[in-house]
Amino acid sequence: MSAPDHPQPGLRERKKARIRAEIRAQAMRLFAEQGYAATTTEQIAAAADVSPSTFFRYFPTKERLVLADDLEETMLAALAEQPTDLPLLTVFLQAVRTGLSRTERQSETQRRNLIAQIPALREAQSAELDRVIAALARALLTRTGRPATDFESRIFLGALTGALHAALQLPSPTGDSLARALSYLESGFPLAVEPSDSVSRSNT
């Protein structure tokens, strides 16, 4: 059984999306031309032909402009589109892959480079990814109809978010990194049941 279709955005939503995209496009252009630190929110607003107050309605800070990739909304929408008869981890992985593919754009490489170069952005992105993963995991659990407060639900959410957090801490995390983490979680963590001296015995 497939999830129901979602209505197309109306004129107001499309206009807001165009303004948001133009602000980000002009910001990325200015960052490339004069550097992130030297670019002000006023300059970005002027380049996008909007007022500073309009800029702040879309992005509360310059940092948020770089970090905002609409990942949570995109992944939650992708999750809602998944068939209801699939295993939870399969649904989650497909939603993540769909969400990541939909957030790809021409400015993505530049955005990632900015985050890699600026420590404050790297730290903020890590916190944002953890938040998105937690939101997606909670949304996944609602598909089961189970309360998020029971024991099994709490353990499942903790294991799922913990596994993905660890995968995202790898030097160059990718969609495949998340897939491997989910596969290992689905297998029941074989390492947890190995004899504690198995490594030392295998080296003798």
pLDDT tens track for 190-200: 888 888 765 55
Q: How many CB atoms lie within 10 A of CB 137?
A: 20
64-120: pLDDT as tens digits:
888 866 677 778 888 888 888 888 888 888 887 887 777 655 456 788 788 888 888
Evaluate if residue 46 carries a pLDDT over 60: yes
Question: How do the domains of the chain map onto residue ranges?
Answer: 11-61, 69-190
* 123/104 Cα distance (integer angstroms): 21
Nearest residue to 103 via CA among 129, 63, 70:
70
Q: What is the CA radius of gyration of the chain?
A: 20
According to CATH, the topology of domain 69-190 is Tetracycline Repressor; domain 2 (1.10.357)
pTM over 0.95: no
Evaluate if residue 14 carries a pLDDT over 70: yes
pLDDT of residue 3: 46
Q: Which CATH code for domain 11-61?
A: 1.10.10.60
What mean pLDDT do residues 34-60 have?
94
8 A C-beta contact, residue 135 and residue 142? no
